[in-house]
Amino acid sequence: EVSKVDTTAAASGGFGDCWKGLFLGQHQIAMKCSRSHIAPEIAMRVRLAEREMKVWKSLQHPNILPFIGPVILETPVKALYMVSPWMENSDLGKYINANPNADCLRLLTQIATGLEYLHTSGVIHGDLKAANILISGTGDARIADFGLSEMTTEVDENTQGCSSAWKHGGNPRWQAPELFENYKRTKASDIFAFGRVIYEAYTRDVPFAGFPRLRIYAIVDRGELPPRPSGKSSEPGGFNDDMWQFMARCCETKPQQRPDAHEVVAYLLSISKTPDRACSP
């Protein structure tokens, strides 16, 4: 038996809301669903949810949010929910702001390891950012939200039934410039987004904070990086010149100039004090 515990959503995204719930009255869970109640949109959202679940249910890794399964609730209106474990420490952005001494390098290594697993498994995440990386009660990173994810075998197939919003989904703060011209997401565009996550982790802010959306498109298209903070605040956990340059490599304008996920993990492990590639679940 599954039930909601709050009257308001715990988090909201472009395609739906996430609610806190209980399983069998005692196990805390997260329940994600579409917020649309218009019949044509509901049908489209169900198809998108089916795509997301197809990708998500095949994944098992310590740094990937586990998928428990789907459930349909009848009240207040009939809706399909995707159920996963509740993550006590919210998302990466909120966690590092609430924990100034958080080990950013450790978290980034975990995220990169999860991304390496996805790419090795033939999955493109498509929407990597701090808000889509959850932190467990033990302080470990879990990549979440596979709403824009694709299997690499399906990138050129089976997308005709998807909405324009799905095909062009994402935010220019994290999007690689090639996505502005071609909606097809790739492993290289995931690496670009990971570079932006590095920026978020060390600056405690989103890329191009306060910039108008249209201006961001132009800046990213020119290959410019987000503004680098000055002073000691720019290095709260090691955002030194080497890490800044590595972030810049991930955010190269040309996809072929970016490292792959294996190279990213290898680099982060080489400078990390912790030898493990991923933490225990």
For residue 275, what pLDDT is reported? Answer: 46
Please, how many CA atoms are within 13 Å of residue 194, restricted to the half-sphere of its CB? 34
State the pLDDT confidence band at 279, using cuts at 50, 70 and 90.
Answer: very low
**Per-residue pLDDT reduced to its tens digit, 171-183:** 999 999 999 987 7
Integer-rounded Cα radius of gyration of the chain: 18
Lowest mean pLDDT among 60-64, 100-104, 120-124, 196-200: 100-104
C-alpha–C-alpha distance, residues 200 and 204, integer Å: 5
Structure tokens at 268: 């982060």
State the pLDDT confidence band at 231, using cuts at 50, 70 and 90.
Answer: low
Q: For 205-230, b where at least 16 C-beta lie within 10 A, e where not — what string?
A: bbbbeebeeeebeebbeeeebbeebe
Q: Choose among 239, 251, 110: nearest CA to 173.
A: 251
| Fold category of 2-85 in CATH | Phosphorylase Kinase; domain 1 (3.30.200)
Of residues 86 and 169, more confidence is placed in 86
For residue 205, what pLDDT is reported? Answer: 95
CB atoms within 10 A of CB 131: 20
For residue 170, what pLDDT is reported? Answer: 78
Residue 232 has pLDDT above 70, yes or no: no
For residue 263, what pLDDT is reported? Answer: 98
For residue 51, what pLDDT is reported? Answer: 85
State the pLDDT confidence band at 115, using cuts at 50, 70 and 90.
Answer: very high
Percent of the chain with pLDDT over 70: 82
**Per-residue pLDDT reduced to its tens digit, 43-75:** 677 778 888 899 999 999 999 999 999 998 876
**Per-residue pLDDT reduced to its tens digit, 16-29:** 788 899 988 778 99
For residue 42, what pLDDT is reported? Answer: 62
Q: Choose among 249, 65, 47, 54: nearest CA to 162.
A: 47
Residue 277 has pLDDT above 60, yes or no: no
**Across the strands, what pairs with 128?**
none
Q: What single letter denotes the amino acid at residue 74?
A: E
Residues of the chain with CATH 1.10.510.10: 90-273
Residues of the chain with CATH 3.30.200.20: 2-85
Which residues, 6+ apart, have CB-to-CB distance to 236 below 8 Å? 100, 104, 202, 204
Q: Which CATH class is domain 90-273?
A: mainly alpha
Length of the chain: 281
Lowest mean pLDDT among 41-45, 60-64, 100-104, 119-123: 41-45
Contact between 174 and 128 under an 8 Å Cβ cutoff? The reply is: yes
Residue 274 is given by DSSP the state -
